[in-house]
Structure 1
Amino acid sequence: MLVSMALSRPDDHDYFDDFQDEGTTVTPGRLRAMINKLLESTDIKIGEFQKMIGVNANSWGKFMHGKYKDPWSATQNGTYFAAAYFFYRERKLGKHALGKTRAHKASASDSLGRNVFA
């Protein structure tokens, strides 16, 4: 009996088949920029994001620092695939995407919630 080693299907596989059919077309550098923008514009912390996409700190660190002899070698890192799927799913979810629902609210207050213009 031959068992194939396929990628595991995430629990929320609503878009997973479409993602696999379309493939990933984002460069590792662009994906890093997308991750950094998400982390800066939302209340999502790095550790929380790592858990969301199912990667460990070692894989994350290697991908985010991008210390590869060939920049495209980063596509072999699990963080690349997991983050590419995350952003594909975000695009499909539209206004219900996590990046939009957890975005920082633009306000004129400091870190303690006080109005800075008063």
Structure 2
Amino acid sequence: MSDASMQQIGWDDFMKVELRVGRVLSAEPFPQARKPAYILQVDFGPDIGVRKSSAQVTVHYAPEDLVGRLVVAVVNFPNKQIGPLMSECLVTGFHDADGNVALCVPDRDVPPGTKLL
């Protein structure tokens, strides 16, 4: 996407998106998902609590490698039904050159619930 075709947003639009840091409490295979995925339980601290998400990160991460890891997620989207799972947040990531998802993560330890600025 070139700079000329990129949609511009205002600061107020950006501030509406609640991108928060959470710590993965558990990661379990999600065999009912259409694409390989894990069901994550993510702790966003006392103000937000624990939320569930489906994450298509099975190529780069084993479930045991995700537990304890910090992730960045959107916590103010409406819940979304994904097969039998009600997803309560969107864990963010980037597609690598092969189209597999690598997580978007902070590079330092920050408290769960911290908002991206």
- Larger Rg over CA atoms: 1
TM superposition score normalised by structure 2: 0.29
TM superposition score normalised by structure 1: 0.29
- Write 1 or 2 for the structure with the bigger share of strand: 2
